[in-house]
Amino acid sequence: MPIYEYRCQECGRRTTVLHRSIHNIQQPTCPRCGSQNLKRLISKVAYVRSEEARLEAMADPSNWGDVDENDPKSLARFMRKMSQELGEDLGPEFEEVIDRLEAGQSPEEIEKAMPELGGELGGDLDEGGGGIDQVL
Ligand SMILES: [Zn+2]
């Protein structure tokens, strides 16, 4: 399901639209002025893709160097490194995961203890409060 960002040519409002199907892209309407004169912005989608690719590369154990994925403490060290490399605060959940790893818990135990992680360390792509405005 593609997510596109549009800018209204009438009032300048940006809106993020999740399309249910790539085969049936419907023209969205501006949530502020109701205009259908919206122009699709592609930069953000491209950015999200590259970010995903970066995270995927990091999730590949062969890129981890000397990390031992069966050693929680080694994993914790790696995750700290990853966090520094991303140059952003990954949030209190991420910190808690690292703390638990350093305490010797396995990723499986941590997932059970923190079900809100949804089985994916690092969580969803956080677009800084942007979110989806419309579903078409
Ligand atoms: Zn508008």
Residues 104 and 73 in one domain: yes
Cβ pair 110, 100 in contact under 8 A: yes
Say which range, 9-18, 86-95, 125-134, has the weakest mean pLDDT.
125-134
| Nearest residue to 14 via CA among 36, 2, 32, 27 | 32
123 occurs within a structural domain: no
Residues 111 and 70 in one domain: yes
Domain range for 88: 57-117
Residues 72 and 33 in one domain: no
Residues 33 and 64 in one domain: no
Q: Which two tokens stand for residue 134?
A: 């419309």
Query: 15 alpha carbon to ligand 1 midpoint, in Å?
Result: 9
| Whole-angstrom Cα Rg for the chain | 19
Query: 133 alpha carbon to ligand 1 midpoint, in Å?
Result: 13
92 occurs within a structural domain: yes
Q: Which two tokens stand for residue 40?
A: 């699709």
Q: What is the pLDDT of residues 85-126, one digit of tens each?
A: 776 667 788 888 889 989 998 888 888 888 776 544 444 444
Query: 41 alpha carbon to ligand 1 midpoint, in Å?
Result: 15
126 occurs within a structural domain: no
Q: Which residue type sits at 32?
A: R
Q: Which ranges constitute the DSSP H helices of the chain?
A: 43-59, 72-86, 92-102, 107-113
Report the domain count for the chain: 2
